[in-house]
Amino acid sequence: MGIKDFIIPAIDLQEGKAVRLYKGEKNSSKVYSDNPVSVAKLWEDKGAKQLHIVDLDGAFEGKPKNYKIVEEIIKSVSIPIEFGGGLRSFEAVKTMFDVGVDRVVIGSLAYQNEEEFIKIVENYPNKVILGIDAKDGKVAIKGWVEKIDYTPLEFAKRFEKYDIWGYLYTDVNRDGALIGANVKGTVELAKNLSKPVIASGGVSSLKDIEELYRFKDYGIYGVVVGKALYEGKIVLDKI
């Protein structure tokens, strides 16, 4: 895998628009496009090999709200889609797989209703990514507003024995802040887990991605990049 393939562009949906939040704060959104479908096509045209879509309304309200837009995106591009945001029931997950997503990212449900989470994993083996959102060294749930008493590694290890695809590790305090990725935290997870880890949060330049890419053999699969792409700090088709 080359470094360009390592980059997974993010499309965060809020009220039907493509936005970015600052450090996961609900009211901090900056709108980058009124047409998320065109954004998805743009990243595909620039060489993205997959997309990471988050329903922010779903994350805060507890069930997917923008699934019609996700369906439109899936019909418009030919690359795989991983989707997260508000997936807190088997029915919600089934809806998104029926729409056509390739993988789902689930965080809060795994903590709040482990039985339901395991049911999803058993019905969709190797299709579920455990979302590990961390704030100040602890896992955060419910749209990043509630911290629980687990470190990211402790939380991840609870689910190592199940047939999940892997993990998405987001440092919420860095997300949308362009202050650099949490390389140390991502590497620690990857070294101690048997399944792939995707990094997220804080990427500000190609240098950040190169630093993560150095550790790909530890099990770091890729890195979700949002604001740095939207603000031209990383130019995907020039890599």
pLDDT digits (tens, 9 = 90+) for 159-173: 999 999 999 999 876
In this structure, the chain runs to a length of 239
Domain boundaries, the chain: 7-238
Alpha-carbon distance values, 191 to 36, 74, 91, 112, 155 (Å): 35, 33, 34, 27, 15
pTM assigned to the model: 0.92
pLDDT at 208: 93
> Is residue 54 within a helix (H) or strand (E), and if so which, with residue range?
strand 51-55
Largest CA distance in the chain: 45
The closest of 38, 99, 104 to 71, measured between CA atoms, is: 99
pLDDT digits (tens, 9 = 90+) for 25-82: 556 678 889 999 999 999 999 999 999 999 988 887 777 888 899 999 999 999 999 9
As given in the structure block, the two tokens for residue 180 are: 């650099």
Question: What is the CA angle 73-235-165, rounded to 5?
Answer: 50
SS3 of 66, please?
coil
**In CATH, what is the architecture of 7-238?**
Alpha-Beta Barrel (3.20)
Contacts of 207 (CB under 8 A, 6+ apart): none
Tell me how crowded residue 79 is: count the other CB atoms within 10 A of its CB: 15
Provide the annotated active-site residues: 12, 133
Q: Give 28's DSSP letter.
A: G
